[in-house]
Amino acid sequence: MATITEAAPPAHPLRLSLRVLGNISPAFWTLVLLVVLWELAVQINQVPVYILPAPSRVAAEIIDYWPRLMINAGVTVSEILIGFGCAIAVGVPLAVLVTYSRVAERAIYPLIVASQTIPKVAIAPLLMAWFGYGLTPKIVIVVLLSFFPIVINSVVGLKASSAEMLYLAQSMGATPWQTFWKFRLPQALPYIFAGLKLATVLAVIGAVVAEFIGADRGLGYVIVVAGSSFNIARQFAAIIVISAIGMVFFVIIELLERLVVPWKNTAVVASE
Amino acid sequence: MNDMSMNVEAAAPVKPHIRISRVSKTFKGRKGDVHALSDIDLTIGRGEFVSVVGPSGCGKSTLLMLLSGLTPYSLGKIEVGEKLISSPNSDVGIVFQQDVLLEWRSALQNVLIQAEIRKAPLEAARERARELLKMVSLQDFENAYPKELSGGMRQRVSICRALLHKPPLLLMDEPFGALDAMTRDQLQLDLLRLCADNAMTVFFITHSISEAVFLSDRVVVMSPRPGRVERIIDIDLPRPRRLAMREDLKFTAYTRELTEIFKGLGVFREEV
């Protein structure tokens, strides 16, 4: 008779994220230790503030400069979000096209893959020339950087349906529409989310690099301006805020995945 | 429990359920054509349980695919009921060796996909799905995800899915091939019980001689390359079948006969 050997834990997103946070704690203490060592090293050796400011100095800078940091962070975040949204809007439908059309697969897909050899940062100045110094070139760079993992993972995911599964759908008389929504797309979701998570990291990089090259606002701009006046503490302040944005962004996608793909994290197997 | 018995004479009326006439299948390969099936003739009565046994590469799975209409045949004619098979036949239930469960759906939802795709009334379908799951002792696992189920439980869910819409024809392609021996025995019993309760014709592919004898009214022996029907053997054993019957002389006489046929075909080689 069938019995469950272990009780299946409810796959509640909150509970799972708490478990992940629990695992983070040793890493957190390592980080604290490193920051303390940094502080001590700077204090003891009296490192000049224009070379390496102590963490306490950076923290003070974050507090002092908080309003300006937040205004610029808002600019960077909006570039990231709009660009990331566009990357999804372009990437996923393109993946569907490549999956369903042999012609598209052979005519477009190799070019997408080959285009990855172009260092996108190198074409950023070109984009500035074409689109000016406003929001547009930043968004274009974010899209260029982040859409590739979205496309590739979506294609792999959409093709992950086994021949048997598609036969099964056919034997039920499924329309192509039903086959897509009820079989292929859910099958692809874990892959798509893997792509999205990769893309979050690249989107942040894209936005900051674009701001390095030509901007009058944003955290990348803050770093460039602070650097030109040897304000290292402010540079660190901006870096920390950027990192925080990246982490929050990643965690949001991770939580979204747990909501949308809850079956991925239930791994308790019952036995006969 | 006497109504469980199905005898061949009563189950095979004048008009057969399946008529395969002079069917051949050739696959176009890179190194020329591959003759998978050659000149297959087979007639199956309504309600009959027919197993096809043969070594790998004898085209038995291909024959099943032709019957389902999922693969077109090259020559000949296949009729199922009144229908000439020329396109996917949605009047069947299919079970593959892989259970092909949808990981994102609970056991019950996996069975119900059959009704969703067919746009059948869901309330009645849910009731029937529950009944089916109960018949294979999975009533406590309706809400479990496939990941939480053992291999045998998964395959039972996939059998329930294949039966939800009361198909007149059940196609099974080595459904128990990936299971351990004990689970396999249990699933054979489960299948026989389901067959007794759901009047239907079963076309069952297997590698196992004893499995074929245990389940079937008739066993079709196929020889490899190109696949052809070598012999058809009537299994005259009473129903309901019991596990203990496998030790009966009559049973072992059948398995011995089949083994000898395969020896004659060069499938088994015994060194002296």
Scanning every residue of chain A, which has its alpha carbon at the shortest distance from the alpha carbon of B139?
A: A2
Q: Which residue has the tokens 């009921």?
A: B81
Q: Say if B87 falls within a structural domain.
A: no
The 10s digit of each residue's pLDDT in A78-121 is 999 999 999 999 999 999 999 999 999 999 989 988 888 888 88
Partner-chain contact B100 A271, CB within 8 Å = no
State how far the Cα of A217 lies from the Cα of A68, in Å rounded to an integer.
10
pLDDT band (50, 70, 90) for residue B2: very low
Q: How many contacts, defined by CB atoms under 8 Å, are there between A and B? A: 89
Partner-chain contact B145 A164, CB within 8 Å = no
pLDDT at B179 over 70: yes
pLDDT at A8 over 50: no
Q: Is B243 exposed, middle or buried (0-12, 13-18, 19+ CB in 10 A)?
A: exposed
Which of B145, B179, B180, B190 is the mutation pick for testing A, counting most A CBs within 10 A? B145
Q: Distance from A5 to chain B by nearest Cα, in Å? A: 10
What pLDDT does residue A16 have? 65
Least confident of A23-32, A100-109, B101-110, B166-175: A23-32
Partner-chain contact A2 B186, CB within 8 Å = no
Q: Distance from B117 to chain A by nearest Cα, in Å? A: 6
Q: Say if B211 falls within a structural domain.
A: no
Nearest CB to B147 within list A165, A168, A263: A263
What pLDDT does residue A14 have? 66
The residues that bridge with B227 in the sheet, in sequence order, are B37
Angle of helix A232-260 relative to helix A219-228, nearest 10 degrees, comes to: 160
Residue B58 tokens read as: 């004898």
Nearest CB to A8 within list B70, B137, B148: B148
State how far the Cα of B109 lies from the Cα of B126, in Å rounded to an integer.
9
Residue B222 tokens read as: 């196929």
Q: Say if B68 falls within a structural domain.
A: no
What pLDDT does residue A113 have? 87
What pLDDT does residue B8 have? 47
From the list B239, B219, B201, the residue with the least C-alpha distance to B81 is: B201
Partner-chain contact A182 B117, CB within 8 Å = yes
CA angle B105–B111–B114, rounded 5-degree value? 105
pLDDT at A171 over 90: yes
CA distances from residue A251 to A10, A193, A245 in whole angstroms, order as listed: 20, 12, 10
From the list B224, B231, B241, the residue with the least C-alpha distance to B261 is: B231
Partner-chain contact A186 B104, CB within 8 Å = yes
Residue B239 tokens read as: 């129903």
The residues that bridge with A271 in the sheet, in sequence order, are A3
Partner-chain contact A186 B149, CB within 8 Å = no
Contacts with A268 from chain B: Cβ below 8 Å = 147-148
State how far the Cα of B236 lies from the Cα of B245, in Å rounded to an integer.
12
Dump the DSSP string for A63-92.
Answer: HHTHHHHHHHHHHHHHHHHHHHHHHHHHHH
The residues that bridge with B21 in the sheet, in sequence order, are B77
Query: Distance from first CA to last CA of chain A, Å, rounded?
Result: 6
CA angle B196–B199–B200, rounded 5-degree value? 110
What pLDDT does residue B267 have? 83
Partner-chain contact B149 A269, CB within 8 Å = yes
Partner-chain contact A272 B70, CB within 8 Å = no
Contacts with A259 from chain B: Cβ below 8 Å = none
Scanning every residue of chain B, which has its alpha carbon at the shortest distance from the alpha carbon of A263?
A: B104
What pLDDT does residue B5 have? 47
Partner-chain contact A168 B96, CB within 8 Å = yes
Q: Distance from A196 to chain B by nearest Cα, in Å? A: 19
Percent of chain B with pLDDT over 70: 94
Partner-chain contact A263 B113, CB within 8 Å = no
pLDDT band (50, 70, 90) for residue A17: low
Scanning every residue of chain B, which has its alpha carbon at the shortest distance from the alpha carbon of A265?
A: B147
For A155-183, what is the mean pLDDT?
94
CA distances from residue B16 to A252, B234, B239 in whole angstroms, order as listed: 60, 16, 22
Partner-chain contact A266 B96, CB within 8 Å = no
Contacts with B88 from chain A: Cβ below 8 Å = 170-171, 173
State how far the Cα of A213 lies from the Cα of B91, in Å rounded to an integer.
63
Contacts with A4 from chain B: Cβ below 8 Å = 148
State how far the Cα of B233 lies from the Cα of B261, in Å rounded to an integer.
11
CA distances from residue A111 to A108, A151, A164 in whole angstroms, order as listed: 5, 12, 31
For A3, which DSSP code?
B
pLDDT at B86 over 90: no
For A208-212, what is the mean pLDDT?
93
Q: Which domains does chain A have, with CATH numbers?
A: 65-265 (1.10.3720.10)
pLDDT at A167 over 90: yes
pLDDT at B58 over 70: yes
Q: Distance from A177 to chain B by nearest Cα, in Å? A: 10
Radius of gyration (Cα) for chain B, nearest Å?
19
DSSP SS3 for B227:
strand
- Looking only at the bridges linking them, the beta strands covering B92-95 and B201-206 are unpaired
The residues that bridge with B206 in the sheet, in sequence order, are B53
Dump the DSSP string for B197-214.
Answer: HS--EEEEEES-HHHHHH
How many Cβ atoms sit within 10 Å of the Cβ of residue B168? Answer: 17
The residues that bridge with B229 in the sheet, in sequence order, are B222
pLDDT at B188 over 90: yes
pLDDT at B236 over 70: yes
pLDDT at A220 over 70: yes
Assign 3-state DSSP to chain B and report helix, strand, coil percentages, each to 5. 40, 25, 35
Taken in order B121, B122, B124, B130, the sign of the CA dihedral is positive
Partner-chain contact B183 A272, CB within 8 Å = yes
Contacts with B147 from chain A: Cβ below 8 Å = 263, 266-269
Q: Distance from B27 to chain A by nearest Cα, in Å? A: 17
The 10s digit of each residue's pLDDT in A51-84 is 899 999 999 999 999 999 999 999 999 999 999 9
ipTM: 0.87
The structural domain count of chain B equals 1
CA distances from residue A243 to A41, A77, A246 in whole angstroms, order as listed: 23, 12, 5
Residue B162: which domain range? 101-166
Partner-chain contact B94 A267, CB within 8 Å = no
Nearest CB to A8 within list B89, B117, B144: B144
pLDDT at A18 over 70: no
For B4-14, what is the mean pLDDT?
49
What pLDDT does residue A117 have? 87
State how far the Cα of B237 lies from the Cα of B249, in Å rounded to an integer.
11
From the list B25, B69, B46, the residue with the least C-alpha distance to B217 is: B46
Scanning every residue of chain B, which has its alpha carbon at the shortest distance from the alpha carbon of A183?
A: B102
State how far the Cα of A208 lies from the Cα of A215, in Å rounded to an integer.
10
Partner-chain contact B68 A167, CB within 8 Å = yes
DSSP SS3 for B142:
coil
The 10s digit of each residue's pLDDT in B200-223 is 999 999 999 999 999 999 999 998
Q: Say if B55 falls within a structural domain.
A: no
> Left (φ > 0), alpha (ψ -120 to 50) or beta: where does B271 sit?
beta
Scanning every residue of chain B, which has its alpha carbon at the shortest distance from the alpha carbon of A161?
A: B100
Residue B165 tokens read as: 């819409």
What pLDDT does residue A22 have? 66
State how far the Cα of B26 lies from the Cα of A128, in Å rounded to an integer.
59
The residues that bridge with B50 in the sheet, in sequence order, are B203, B218
SS3 of A109-145: HHHHHHHHHCCHHHHHHHHHHHHCCCHHHHHHHHHHH
Q: Say if B17 falls within a structural domain.
A: no
What pLDDT does residue A268 have? 46
What pLDDT does residue B33 have? 85
pLDDT band (50, 70, 90) for residue A7: very low
pLDDT at B50 over 90: yes
State how far the Cα of B77 lies from the Cα of B85, in Å rounded to an integer.
8
User: Rounded to 5 degrees, what are φ and ψ at B213?
Assistant: -65, -45
Nearest CB to A267 within list B94, B147, B153: B147
Nearest CB to B100 within list A164, A189, A267: A164
State how far the Cα of A237 lies from the Cα of A73, in Å rounded to an integer.
11
Contacts with B118 from chain A: Cβ below 8 Å = 172-173
Q: Which residues have C-beta within 8 Å of that of residue A97, sequence separation ≥ 6?
A: A104, A108
Scanning every residue of chain A, which has its alpha carbon at the shortest distance from the alpha carbon of B70?
A: A167
